[in-house]
Amino acid sequence: MSYSEKIGWNISFPEALDSINSVIFVFAAPVFDEKSNALKELFNAFPQSHFFGCSSSHEIFGKSILEDSISVAVVKFNNTKIKIKNMPIESIELSYQTGLALGRGMSTDIHMKAAIVLADGLNVDASTLLKGLKENLPSHVNLSGGLASDGDAFINTWVLVDKKVENKFVSVLCFYGENNQVLSEFEGGWEFFGLERRVTKSKGNILYELNNLPALDLYKKYLGIYADELPESGVYFPLQICKETKEVGVIRAVIGVDEHEKSLIFAGDIPEGSYAKMMRSNVDLLIEGAAEAASSIANNLKKSQKKDTNTNDNSLVVTISCEGRKRLLGQNCEEELEAVLSELPLNTLQIGFYSYGEFSPSKEFNSCEFHNQTMTLTYISEEL
């Protein structure tokens, strides 16, 4: 279901689904908080359920992209145990320790199958948070997720913690048991091109120099007449960053520039000494990428289908797509949502948000990595 100021809630609340084993996924524009009537109504309608969600640049609801709205999915599990674990991020510098502590609390959860991670999009070093989290988490746990967002404003991003909106928090929804399927996939739809360059000067998420030349100059050269539109136009050329030369790496998107320092600010870390390759895409490739991510899930579903078991007709896909993709796709953006649903089983419901970054399961690294500019899908279904 969805909420907008103009229409209100589009359907009446399915209160019968309220239970201690229910999860209410909530993705909302940052302007909403626990004091806003819409969220109050929602919290009151499902007193026993777990709430899991975050602020978003734009909300995904079915095949539609909503703005200034709340997108909600109510999921009642019959054979799956769920838990939500929250932890404050005291400071960006303590992101790794936060992840470590969070993972430590789950290290003994041997029946944990999968987890979705949502974190504040502004007050976290997402790469190190994830690194810390993975350190103690059993390796079989399927991780996915994303960063809360705030569109172009970059002011207020929150995650839901015990029916309150909280900045500087990370929230993890954990799935337990054998009678469910939680599958994650991601695709970018980007192709790298040109020379591989060495990151010769960087600090955190600020890139100063590639091959000893100012990174900003390089982007201006490539953007030509659109250089004036930086940092927005930087979205057309994300970087692929690898630790070693000629590896497959993580994707990083430009979110800011510093004209004085001639540097670029990215939505993720750019380690000094790593290797960078520029990437490009177009509307068709991005939509194809989204379809490929969904198609991989559909193939995995077929492979893992147990004989003589029936899966629930209703399944949910939590779609986390990067805000940068939305800018590039423009009015074609809903096509990537249509592409996802067209590949997944019928009756799959879609909910999600446009994020500041994605925690995406990587085939190459055989673990979850922090990316930008990807379409990350988490498919959830339960066996009857």
Partner 1 sequence: MSEFHKLFNRQLKKLNLSKDHMPDNIESWNQFLENINKVYLSHDKERYLNFRSMEISSEEMRDSFKTIQEQQEKIHSNVRLVALGEMAGSIAHEINNPLMIILNHAKAIKKNISEFENETVDSLNKSSDAIFRSTVRVVEVIKIMRNLWKIPGNMENGRFSIQQLIEDTLRFNQGRLISAGITMEYKKIDTELYINCSLIQISQVLNSLFTNSIDAVMNLEKKWIKIDLVCEKKIIKIIFTDSSGGISRDDQFKIFQPFFTTKDVGKGTGLSLSLSKSIINQYGGDFQYDESSINTSFIISLPCCS
Rounded CA-CA distance 78/90 in Å is 36
- CB-nearer residue toward partner 1: 46 or 236: 236
3-state secondary structure at position 134: helix
Rounded CA-CA distance 122/95 in Å is 12
Using the rule CB under 8 A, is 198 a contact of partner 1?
A: no
Pairing of strands 367-371, 275-280: unpaired
What pairs with residue 114 in β-bridges?
Answer: 142, 175
Residues 216-235 touching partner 1, rule: CB under 8 A, are 221-226, 233
Using the rule CB under 8 A, is 334 a contact of partner 1?
A: yes
Interface residue with partner 1, options 335, 358, 369, 382 (CB under 8 A): 335
Interface residue with partner 1, options 15, 90, 154, 194 (CB under 8 A): 194
3-state secondary structure at position 90: coil
CB neighbour list of residue 245: distance below 8 Å, 6 or more residues apart: 196, 275
Interface residue with partner 1, options 10, 44, 91, 332 (CB under 8 A): 332
In 3D space, the residue among 222, 214, 205 whose CA is nearest the CA of residue 256 turns out to be 205
Residue whose entry in the numeric block shows the structure tokens 């899966």: 311
Interface residue with partner 1, options 26, 183, 207, 278 (CB under 8 A): 278
- The stretch among 27-35, 73-81, 191-199, 311-319 that binds partner 1 (CB under 8 A) is 191-199
- CB-nearer residue toward partner 1: 58 or 76: 58
- CB-nearer residue toward partner 1: 310 or 331: 331
Minimum CB–partner distance for residue 67 and partner 1 (Å) = 12
CB neighbour list of residue 262: distance below 8 Å, 6 or more residues apart: 208, 214, 215, 216, 217
Rounded CA-CA distance 69/370 in Å is 27
- CB-nearer residue toward partner 1: 8 or 194: 194
Interface residue with partner 1, options 236, 353, 356, 379 (CB under 8 A): 236
The site string for partner 1 over 73-112 (x = CB under 8 A, - otherwise) reads: ----------------------------------------
Alpha-carbon distance values, 273 to 28, 113, 217, 341 (Å): 38, 36, 19, 40
Using the rule CB under 8 A, is 7 a contact of partner 1?
A: no
- CB-nearer residue toward partner 1: 110 or 195: 195
Minimum CB–partner distance for residue 164 and partner 1 (Å) = 35
- The stretch among 2-10, 158-166, 171-179, 330-338 that binds partner 1 (CB under 8 A) is 330-338
DSSP letter at 33? -
Alpha-carbon distance values, 338 to 190, 287, 300 (Å): 19, 9, 20
Using the rule CB under 8 A, is 199 a contact of partner 1?
A: no
- Residues within the interface to partner 1 (CB under 8 A): 193-195, 221-226, 233, 236-237, 278, 280, 282-283, 328, 330-332, 334-335
